[in-house]
């Protein structure tokens, strides 16, 4: 039989216990460090590959805004592309052939004339004068200048021809090429040309969609939770409802998309591809994710507070509105914001209602055609142009930033409303 | 004259039964509680004394599956009749709980809450006055008058409990129910509250549940001994403690059971 009072036995036991505790700590730390390293690797690789998208090479051209291209009385009908091309041609007097000219034009972006057009429309007095302006180069030239296309490869293996290289080198010699911040990424809607494709349309679409989601799901979710937790009798019907709400939280999101297609679009004839429908679908998906944490927040309020309020003669509604709801607010807001953050990253249900779409215009209302950030990222990832690789990562960075902002808001509100007792 | 007034029956309980689901917690209690007296309810844990206390302001109503039978009358009015509004009843019957439970609001708002929701103070100055009077009665005014905007939860346990008393009496109830108000407090804070009860009974009818025999003996005029859902004995505190009629009561108060 073991002698428990034996000092050696107890020392050995003690040593074993300390070792077990040390091991346990080590496992925990290893798990945290592994998770942290994976996260750092993921984030840094996304940010690194997104960096090229945030800048773009532009060429400075001296543009004669001649009346041959833009009439003084109708500046909106001007041939601005012609203007820019003419300005480029001035630097290469030796280029005369039709094919050579066309090759020369291709070093410019399709959107090269946008800046000129905007300037002239803004100030028609510029017609007849000469302005110096940076216009974007094409995506392939930009990639070459960034070193992402190796110019030392044999010509047949690269997308930029020797002739293009000669054009660019001459402009570079004249110090006309400069790498600038790619404002287009944030000010443009989608485009087939990577250098003109921007996130603004998808960002606006996401925000409109989330606005609809918030307006629909927050009041519905909170009221449902208040009723279930505070008012409804605890019987088998409310138990059934509770089980079903918990199940709804686990329904695959594509199912909500099918539901939205069948109900909102086919039955109610709401517009396709619109943030209104997207927001409604995401609201359905978000509802259980608001109801569950809200109920948990209510359940976490100590019963002593309710008793105190009831004891001085507060009605049930007053107990809820004056005491329980304010105290539950941090939990409710956190649940809501996390539900919204999930909705912001959701793609599958929006597939079904046409929000995975190539849409150039920035949506300005909830019934306008729109796409959302994750859909935009997916579509960019599918585009063949190499410059879209960086654009895709940049889109992810924007989405992650949005989620970061949303989560920071959650933490802020939590702190702001938190009360201790 | 005081003597006559104190003989007036304030609360009359007749055949009060309480069920929690299938379990019966009280088996037909008949008990009269006099105005301007402190009545102590004593007995071992689970004997039903708190349950009985909660019948007097219908706090049992909020417990799921709890059913109350029989009648409880306050000033000859059955509080379980449909004519009685439970919210108004609770304004007339204040309650102080075992654990101090101030709202996580300022001291001022804690006391002002009751008058506010009942619309008792039409102006700010009247409300200020009510808060001051209530805090003075609860013996807390001198300690907190300079920091009325501090959180009620920042006070010490004994101060919190007096704040809860101030909150209860701010709505001018007739009756104050106390459910082991001193069980979470140290002896000094307990002494302060006991003194306070002696003060308060001039204006209120007080019913207190306590586990402390000495406390019951010190503060109450009448004592009721509960055991396993039955009212075993009820009478003048002095008589109960010196010469109990029932063997069980004697065993309990002398510390042999409980």
Domain of A309: which CATH number? 1.10.3720.10
Quick one: pLDDT at residue B45? 86
- Averaged pLDDT for residues A200-216: 95
Residue A14 lies in a domain: no
CB B87 within 8 A of CB B42: no
Give the pLDDT band of residue B147 (cuts 50, 70, 90). very high
A317–B contact, CB cutoff 8 A: no
**Residues sharing a CB contact under 8 Å with residue A229, sequence separation 6 or more, in sequence order:** A294, A295, A298, A299
Could you tell me how many CB contacts below 8 A there are between chain A and chain B?
Answer: 68
Please state the length of chain B. Answer: 258
Domain boundary (A181, A208, A238) is at A181
**Residues sharing a CB contact under 8 Å with residue A418, sequence separation 6 or more, in sequence order:** A330
Q: Which chain B residue's Cα is nearest to A311?
A: B95
Residue A94 lies in a domain: yes
A44–B contact, CB cutoff 8 A: no
B6–A contact, CB cutoff 8 A: no
Q: Is the dihedral of CA A301, A302, A308, A311 positive or negative?
A: positive
A315–B contact, CB cutoff 8 A: yes
Distance from C-alpha of A388 to C-alpha of A140, rounded to nearest angstrom: 11
Distance from C-alpha of B129 to C-alpha of B125, rounded to nearest angstrom: 6
A101–B contact, CB cutoff 8 A: no
Distance from C-alpha of A414 to C-alpha of A418, rounded to nearest angstrom: 6
Largest CA distance in chain B: 57
| A313:B90 CB<8 A | yes
| A307:B101 CB<8 A | yes
Do A234 and A375 lie in one domain? The reply is: yes
CB A67 within 8 A of CB A146: no
Distance from C-alpha of A21 to C-alpha of A17, rounded to nearest angstrom: 6
Write out chain B residues lying below 8 Å of A305, CB-based.
101, 103-104
Q: What domains does chain B contain, in order, with CATH numbers?
A: 36-54+85-253 (3.40.50.300)
B99–A contact, CB cutoff 8 A: yes
**Mean pLDDT for all residues in chain A:** 91
Residue linked to tokens 């002398």:
B254
With a pLDDT cut of 90, the percent of chain A lying above it is 60
Q: Are strands B93-96 and B175-179 parallel, antiparallel or unpaired?
A: parallel
- By Cβ distance, the residue of A305, A310, A327 closest to B90 is A310
Q: Which chain B residue's Cα is nearest to A323?
A: B103
| B87:A312 CB<8 A | no
**Residues sharing a CB contact under 8 Å with residue A242, sequence separation 6 or more, in sequence order:** A228
Give the pLDDT band of residue B257 (cuts 50, 70, 90). low
Give the pLDDT band of residue A297 (cuts 50, 70, 90). very high
Distance from C-alpha of B52 to C-alpha of B62, rounded to nearest angstrom: 15
Do A400 and A280 lie in one domain? The reply is: yes
pLDDT at B2 over 60: no
Residue A24 lies in a domain: no
Paired tokens of B16? 């009060």
B257–A contact, CB cutoff 8 A: no
Quick one: pLDDT at residue B100? 92
Q: Please give the tally of structural domains in chain A.
A: 2
Do A405 and A326 lie in one domain? The reply is: yes
Do A248 and A275 lie in one domain? The reply is: yes
**Residues sharing a CB contact under 8 Å with residue A198, sequence separation 6 or more, in sequence order:** A184, A185, A186, A187, A188, A189, A190, A191
Paired tokens of A61? 């051209």
- Averaged pLDDT for residues A37-50: 95
Do A304 and A368 lie in one domain? The reply is: yes
Q: Which chain A residue's Cα is nearest to B114?
A: A312
* Least confident range of A68-72, B80-84, B129-133, B179-183: A68-72
Backbone angles phi, psi at A60, to 5 degrees: -90, 120
Paired tokens of A421? 């007792």
Distance from C-alpha of B206 to C-alpha of B93, rounded to nearest angstrom: 10
Q: Is the dihedral of CA A95, A98, A104, A109 positive or negative?
A: positive
b/e code B134-158 from CB counts within 10 Å (16+ = b): bbebbbbbebbeeebeebbbebeeb
Beta bridge partner(s), residue B176 = B94, B206
Range among A32-46, A79-93, A169-183 with highest mean pLDDT value: A32-46
Q: Give the distance from CA B122 to its chain's centroid.
A: 28
Quick one: pLDDT at residue A210? 95
* Least confident range of A239-243, B160-164, B246-250: B246-250
- By Cβ distance, the residue of A309, A312, A322 closest to B94 is A312
pLDDT at A374 over 70: yes
Angle between helices A387-417 and A325-344 (to 10 degrees): 180
Angle, alpha carbons B215-B218-B222 (nearest 5°): 95
Quick one: pLDDT at residue A1? 62
Residue A151 lies in a domain: yes
Residue A26 lies in a domain: no
Do A148 and A206 lie in one domain? The reply is: no
**Mean pLDDT for all residues in chain B:** 89
Q: Which chain A residue's Cα is nearest to B95?
A: A311
A314–B contact, CB cutoff 8 A: yes
Do A108 and A209 lie in one domain? The reply is: no
Quick one: pLDDT at residue B5? 46
B78–A contact, CB cutoff 8 A: no
State how far residue B8 is from chain A, nearest Cα, in angstroms: 25
Write out chain B residues lying below 8 Å of A315, CB-based.
87, 117
pLDDT at B1 over 80: no
Q: Are strands B66-74 and B205-209 parallel, antiparallel or unpaired?
A: unpaired
CB A281 within 8 A of CB A264: yes
ipTM: 0.88
- By Cβ distance, the residue of B102, B104, B171 closest to A420 is B104
Please write the tens of the pLDDT for every residue from B104-113: 999 999 999 9
- By Cβ distance, the residue of B64, B117, B164 closest to A313 is B117
pLDDT at B4 over 50: no
Q: Which chain A residue's Cα is nearest to B97?
A: A308
Do A103 and A168 lie in one domain? The reply is: yes
- 3-state class (DSSP) for residue B151: strand
Do A160 and A307 lie in one domain? The reply is: no
Domain holding A304, by residue range, is: 200-417
C-alpha dihedral (B70, B74, B79, B80), degrees to nearest 10: 0
With a pLDDT cut of 70, the percent of chain A lying above it is 99
Distance from C-alpha of A274 to C-alpha of A357, rounded to nearest angstrom: 11
| A304:B59 CB<8 A | no
Do A76 and A207 lie in one domain? The reply is: no
Q: Which chain A residue's Cα is nearest to B56?
A: A311
Taking alpha carbons only, the member of B101, B79, B117 closest to residue B184 is: B101
Please write the tens of the pLDDT for every residue from A159-197: 888 888 999 999 999 999 999 999 999 999 999 889 899
- In A106-138, which residue ranges form alpha helices assigned H by DSSP? 112-122
Distance from C-alpha of B209 to C-alpha of A418, rounded to nearest angstrom: 34
Paired tokens of A24? 């346990």
Give the pLDDT band of residue A420 (cuts 50, 70, 90). low
CB B183 within 8 A of CB B98: yes
- By Cβ distance, the residue of A310, A315, A419 closest to B104 is A419
Entry pTM: 0.83
Query: Computed over its alpha carbons, how large is the radius of gyration of chain A?
Result: 31
A322–B contact, CB cutoff 8 A: yes
pLDDT at A336 over 50: yes
Domain boundary (A181, A216, A233) is at A181
- Averaged pLDDT for residues A404-408: 90
Q: Are strands B9-20 and A177-181 parallel, antiparallel or unpaired?
A: unpaired
Distance from C-alpha of B138 to C-alpha of B231, rounded to nearest angstrom: 31
Write out chain A residues lying below 8 Å of B118, CB-based.
313
b/e code A343-377 from CB counts within 10 Å (16+ = b): bbbbbebbbbbbbbbebeebbeebebbbbbbbbbb
Do A166 and A209 lie in one domain? The reply is: no
State how far residue B151 is from chain A, nearest Cα, in angstroms: 9
- DSSP run (H or E) holding B17: strand B9-20
Residue A97 lies in a domain: yes
| A327:B104 CB<8 A | yes
B183–A contact, CB cutoff 8 A: no
Give the pLDDT band of residue A257 (cuts 50, 70, 90). very high
Residue A238 lies in a domain: yes
| A305:B101 CB<8 A | yes
Beta bridge partner(s), residue A135 = A59
Provide the edge-to-edge strand list for the sheet that holds A177-181: A130-136, A55-64, A177-181
Please write the tens of the pLDDT for every residue from A338-354: 899 999 999 999 998 98
Domain boundary (A119, A147, A181) is at A181
Backbone angles phi, psi at B144, to 5 degrees: -120, 0
- Averaged pLDDT for residues A132-146: 92
Give the pLDDT band of residue B94 (cuts 50, 70, 90). very high
B170–A contact, CB cutoff 8 A: yes
Do A107 and A151 lie in one domain? The reply is: yes
| A313:B88 CB<8 A | yes
Residue A297 lies in a domain: yes
Distance from C-alpha of A159 to C-alpha of A150, rounded to nearest angstrom: 10
């Amino acid at each position: 039989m073991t002698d428990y009072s034996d000092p050696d036995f107890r020392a050995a036991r003690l040593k074993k216990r300390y070792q077990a505790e040390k091991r346990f700590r080590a496992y925990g730390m290893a798990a945290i460090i592994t998770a942290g390293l994976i996260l750092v690797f993921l984030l840094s690789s996304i940010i690194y590959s997104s960096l090229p998208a945030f800048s773009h090479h532009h060429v400075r051209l001296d543009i004669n805004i001649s009346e041959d291209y833009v009439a003084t009385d109708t500046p909106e009908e001007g041939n601005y592309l012609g203007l820019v091309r003419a300005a480029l041609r001035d630097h290469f007097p030796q280029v005369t052939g039709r094919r050579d000219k066309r090759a020369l034009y291709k070093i410019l972006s399709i959107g090269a004339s946008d800046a000129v057009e905007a300037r002239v429309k803004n100030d028609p007095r510029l017609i007849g004068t000469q302005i110096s302006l940076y216009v974007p180069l094409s995506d392939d030239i930009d990639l070459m200048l960034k070193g992402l296309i190796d110019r030392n490869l044999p010509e047949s293996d690269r997308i930029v021809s020797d002739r293009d290289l000669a054009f660019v080198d001459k402009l570079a010699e004249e110090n006309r090429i400069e790498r600038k911040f790619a404002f287009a990424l944030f000010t443009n809607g989608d485009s087939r040309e990577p250098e003109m494709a921007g996130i603004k349309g998808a960002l606006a679409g996401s925000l409109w969609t989330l606005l609809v989601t918030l307006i629909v799901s927050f009041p519905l979710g909170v009221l449902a939770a208040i009723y279930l937790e505070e008012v409804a009798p605890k019987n088998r019907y409310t138990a059934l409802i509770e089980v079903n709400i918990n199940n709804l939280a686990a329904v695959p999101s594509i199912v909500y998309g099918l539901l939205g297609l069948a109900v909102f679009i086919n039955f109610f004839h709401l517009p396709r591809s619109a943030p209104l429908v997207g927001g409604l679908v995401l609201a359905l998906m978000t509802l259980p994710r608001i109801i569950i944490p809200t109920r948990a927040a209510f359940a976490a309020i100590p019963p002593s507070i309710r008793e105190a309020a009831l004891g001085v003669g507060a009605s049930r509604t007053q107990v809820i509105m004056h005491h329980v709801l304010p105290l539950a607010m941090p939990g409710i807001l956190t649940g809501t914001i996390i539900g919204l953050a999930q909705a912001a990253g959701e793609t599958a249900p929006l597939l079904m209602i046409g929000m995975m779409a190539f849409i150039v215009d920035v949506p300005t209302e909830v019934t306008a055609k729109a796409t959302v950030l994750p859909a935009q990222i997916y579509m960019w990832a599918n585009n063949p142009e190499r410059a879209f690789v960086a654009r895709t990562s940049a889109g992810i960075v924007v989405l992650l930033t949005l989620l970061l902002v949303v989560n920071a808001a959650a933490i802020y509100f939590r702190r702001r409303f938190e009360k201790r007792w | 004259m005081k003597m006559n007034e104190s003989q007036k029956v304030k609360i009359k309980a007749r055949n009060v039964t309480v069920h929690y689901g299938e379990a019966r917690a009280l088996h037909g209690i008949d008990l009269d509680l006099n105005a301007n007296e402190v009545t102590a309810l004593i007995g071992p844990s689970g004997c039903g004394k708190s349950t009985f206390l909660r019948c007097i302001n219908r706090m049992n109503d909020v417990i799921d599956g709890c059913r109350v039978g029989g009648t409880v009358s306050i000033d000859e009015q059955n509080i379980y009749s449909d004519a009685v509004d439970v919210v108004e009843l609770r304004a007339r019957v204040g309650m102080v709980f075992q654990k101090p439970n101030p709202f996580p609001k300022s001291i001022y708002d804690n006391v002002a809450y009751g008058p506010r929701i009942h619309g008792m103070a039409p102006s700010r100055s009247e409300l200020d006055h009510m808060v001051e009077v209530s805090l003075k009665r609860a013996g807390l005014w001198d300690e907190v008058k300079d920091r009325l905007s501090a959180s009620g939860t920042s006070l010490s346990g004994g101060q919190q409990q007096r704040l809860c008393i101030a909150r209860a009496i701010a709505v001018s109830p007739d009756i104050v129910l106390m459910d082991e108000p001193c069980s979470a407090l140290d002896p000094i804070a307990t002494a302060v509250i006991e003194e306070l009860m002696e003060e308060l009974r001039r204006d209120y009818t007080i019913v207190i549940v306590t586990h402390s025999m000495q406390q019951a003996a010190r503060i109450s005029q009448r004592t009721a001994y509960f055991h396993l859902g039955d009212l075993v004995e009820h009478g003048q505190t002095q008589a109960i403690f010196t010469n109990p009629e029932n063997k069980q009561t004697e065993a309990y108060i002398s510390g042999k059971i409980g």
